[in-house]
A = this chain, B = another copy of it.
Amino acid sequence: MEAAATSKVDVLIIGAGPAGLMLSLWMAKLGVKTRVVDKRTGKIVSGQADGFQCRTLEIFDSFGIGHKVWHEANHMHEVSFWNPDEDGKIRRHHRGPNTQPKLSRFTEAVLHQGRVESILIDTIRASASPKHPLVEIERSVMPTSLHIDESCVDDEDAYPVEVTLRHLTEEEATPTQRLSNLQDGLYRSNLAEDDTERLLANTAGVGREEKVKAKYVVGCDGAHSWVRKTLGEEYQMKGESTDAIWGVLDIIPITDFPDIRSRCMIHSAEFGAMMIIPRENKLVRVYTQLKQVSTGTGRVDRSQITPDVILETARKILSPYTLDYHYIDWWTAYQIGQRVGDRFSKHNRVFLTGDAVHTHSPKAGQGMNVSMGDTYNLGWKLGLVCKKLLQPHVLDTYELERRQIARQLIAFDHKFSRLFSGRPAKDASDEAGSSMSEFQQAFREAQLFITGVGIHYQPSILTSDSDLKGGLQGTETPSQSQVTSLAESAAHCQPGRRFASQIVLSQADARPWELQLHLPSNGRFRVVVFGGDISQATQLATVNKLGGWLQANVLSPTKSPRISLAPGPDPRGGSGSSQWMTDEDPSIVDVLLVHSAPRDKIELLQDLHEVFHPFDKKLGWDYGKVFADDHGKAHKHYGVDPGRGAVVAVRPDGYIGLVTGLQAEDGWTRLQAWFGGLLRPSPSSS
């Protein structure tokens, strides 16, 4: 063992799967000094997760990579339910849209995890610049010890977490299991043993060790999370397993089953259930319940599970249709269970994300999405705290917001997977059976949650309370919000939900844009001003008065928080999109204006306050912040009265923080109070 070196880093990420890579992408975009380690020698090349939900695709789009995934993925437009008919033969009972129309500009799409990891890694690399250090993925490196110096966890300049990293040999980092020519499908399954203990025990003179002192450590290290185990007993996940075992095959199917390119939920009378997920490149993923290996006695005999066993089961379920394959890409099997941790962080210095803190069954295509959702939520907070732009207590909201989602996920999966694994009821009197209509209804009702579009964070310092009755169902903690929204101003923009996209026209060049694309993930907050019909002189005056106030009072560059008075990044792709927040331009609030006046009645430079077209002495005016909403269609969709207007403050992750009015008496003070609770005074005013 070589002597240990010690280095310092702002953020140390353990695990380079989807959760770790999403976090790395934030760090790369925000220019935070980061290391990412993964104990495996390379990224996966087939199998594993494959489903991308609408909200995840919107998030990819906010990083400028949505179109790449969308182009390569298979889009799942349809779902078919097949149930046994009176004779016990399967029959198509229902066919309908897989994703509720108009929830998002995307639909659920399917592409294998490894391909998306490649796109993420390329984007992380492309974010490097002289001002932004390269965030490299270090393979074959695992942590062997973690210690938190509790005496300095409240000192923001301290590096309280010390981690020992071991550089593994190639042999250690490569799983040895192989089965014929196919990688053993079970080696990453929850039926498999974890090799961490074995690797830790192997101290026999191999590999180099080093010590790293970090401000923050994030465990993105999966269901067997070493970080979680290291944090102690109280971080153990709680939940249960059923005895239902399911097998998975990724094949190019040869079949006369008519709906093989449709998503299918199939229940056979006798042989269990099956799901079909049509994939990219002619692949189809087949999930089949493996009744014959569900021993119910605890331990499952792994040797019983082979691709042939899964295929045979699928054939029985699909009978009288045939199923065969020549090409198999991957296979696995798993035991259904739902577990979630109580605690997602320790001292806001070590965080757990993704499978490290919640596990469930894969069939609803949630795992990779919720895992990336965790680190998409955490990343900007961590990055802006490291850059001393955000108050550190905002980090509390990570656990608050994501534990709620994890618990909703577990509850959904508990219900859905039990209904799916159940034997179909023969009739209404068959109480031991699952009701197929109840199953279909559960799938339909869960749409908002499944797509990720329905995520609704509870009130907190980040999310204002609504002054309307009702509001969020099932929140678990009392509101921590210090500001109340005037929710009526933009009735369909609920605080805590994602700011939806509508098509608007650029004032400067008439290009139609998805408005969401002008809220890229670059660490900035947004003040979206819905100006209403500013061809009316009084309405224009109100909007410009707000502009003046934004510039001169609360949001001036010398006060907190700092508003962007420099032109924003070009939302088009290419080199333009790498113009993220930089040290030269530390603006943290962007202002956008959407008005419903006829576009040709407005002259951008002449009619509107400079805050809506900021000037830079090298780049000139910014032409990208004002949008015309022809015929007020978007105003209507956002619930804004064009005669009154509204202001919506949006968090850097695209979730709505505050809704208020255009006028001083209702709007400005709330905006000031909300930002005041989040942002730090800028250096020049402190």
Closest B-chain residue to A326, C-beta based?
B618
Interchain CB contact (< 8 A) of A511 among B77, B327, B623: B77
Contact B574 A280 (CB under 8 A): yes
User: Which residues of chain A from 99 to 138 have a CB within 8 Å of any chain B CB?
Assistant: 111, 115
Report chain B residues within 8 Å CB of A75.
511
* Contacts A262-B509, A605-B258; A573 near B623 (Cβ below 8 A): no
1/0 per residue, CB under 8 A from B, across A507-551: the answer is: 011111000000000000000000000000000000000000000
Contact A623 B77 (CB under 8 A): no
Contact B327 A78 (CB under 8 A): no
A108 to chain B, nearest CB (A): 12
A251 to chain B, nearest CB (A): 10
Contact B574 A72 (CB under 8 A): yes
User: Which residues of chain A from 75 to 97 have a CB within 8 Å of any chain B CB?
Assistant: 75-78, 95
Interchain CB contact (< 8 A) of A603 among B258, B574, B618: B258
Report chain B residues within 8 Å CB of A256.
605, 621
Contact A282 B576 (CB under 8 A): yes
Interchain CB contact (< 8 A) of A78 among B68, B255, B509: B509
* Contacts A281-B572, A282-B576, A603-B258; A71 near B67 (Cβ below 8 A): yes
Report chain B residues within 8 Å CB of A258.
603-606
User: Which residues of chain A from 248 to 275 have a CB within 8 Å of any chain B CB?
Assistant: 252-256, 258, 260-262
Report chain B residues within 8 Å CB of A261.
506, 508-509, 623
In the complex, A77 Cα to B282 Cα: how many Å?
A: 37
A320, CB-defined interface residue at 8 Å: no
Contact B252 A620 (CB under 8 A): yes
In the complex, A115 Cα to B623 Cα: how many Å?
A: 23
In the complex, A572 Cα to B619 Cα: how many Å?
A: 39
Interchain CB contact (< 8 A) of A567 among B78, B282, B606: B282
User: Which residues of chain A from 560 to 592 have a CB within 8 Å of any chain B CB?
Assistant: 567, 570, 572-576
In the complex, A404 Cα to B258 Cα: how many Å?
A: 49
Report chain B residues within 8 Å CB of A606.
258
Report chain B residues within 8 Å CB of A95.
600
In the complex, A619 Cα to B283 Cα: how many Å?
A: 9
A378 to chain B, nearest CB (A): 28
User: Which residues of chain A from 56 to 81 have a CB within 8 Å of any chain B CB?
Assistant: 67-68, 71-78
A601, CB-defined interface residue at 8 Å: no
In the complex, A260 Cα to B68 Cα: how many Å?
A: 31
A193 to chain B, nearest CB (A): 33
Closest B-chain residue to A112, C-beta based?
B574
Report chain B residues within 8 Å CB of A510.
77-78, 262
Contact A618 B252 (CB under 8 A): yes
Report chain B residues within 8 Å CB of A299.
none
Closest B-chain residue to A260, C-beta based?
B623
Contact A280 B570 (CB under 8 A): yes
Report chain B residues within 8 Å CB of A621.
254-256
Contact B508 A262 (CB under 8 A): yes
A661, CB-defined interface residue at 8 Å: no
Report chain B residues within 8 Å CB of A575.
281
A263 to chain B, nearest CB (A): 9
In the complex, A508 Cα to B255 Cα: how many Å?
A: 13
Interchain CB contact (< 8 A) of A77 among B74, B278, B509: B509
In the complex, A74 Cα to B618 Cα: how many Å?
A: 21
Contact B509 A573 (CB under 8 A): no
Contact B77 A574 (CB under 8 A): no
1/0 per residue, CB under 8 A from B, across A402-419: the answer is: 000000000000000000
A198, CB-defined interface residue at 8 Å: no
Interchain CB contact (< 8 A) of A73 among B282, B572, B604: B572
Report chain B residues within 8 Å CB of A78.
509-510
A617, CB-defined interface residue at 8 Å: yes
Contact A281 B623 (CB under 8 A): no
In the complex, A78 Cα to B509 Cα: how many Å?
A: 6
Closest B-chain residue to A253, C-beta based?
B620
User: Which residues of chain A from 463 to 510 have a CB within 8 Å of any chain B CB?
Assistant: 506, 508-510
In the complex, A76 Cα to B511 Cα: how many Å?
A: 7
Interchain CB contact (< 8 A) of A620 among B72, B255, B619: B255
Contact B620 A254 (CB under 8 A): yes
In the complex, A95 Cα to B74 Cα: how many Å?
A: 41
Report chain B residues within 8 Å CB of A71.
67, 572-574
6 CB-based A-B contacts, threshold 8 Å: A77-B511, A78-B509, A111-B574, A260-B623, A261-B509, A326-B619
Q: 7 closest A-B pairs (Cβ-Cβ)?
A: A254-B620, A72-B574, A261-B508, A326-B618, A261-B509, A72-B573, A71-B573
| A binding-site residues for B, Cβ under 8 Å | 67-68, 71-78, 95, 111, 115, 252-256, 258, 260-262, 278, 280-282, 326-327, 506, 508-512, 567, 570, 572-576, 600, 603-606, 617-621, 623
New contact pairs (8) apart from A78-B509, A253-B620, CB-CB < 8 Å: A77-B510, A77-B512, A78-B510, A258-B606, A261-B509, A281-B574, A282-B567, A326-B617
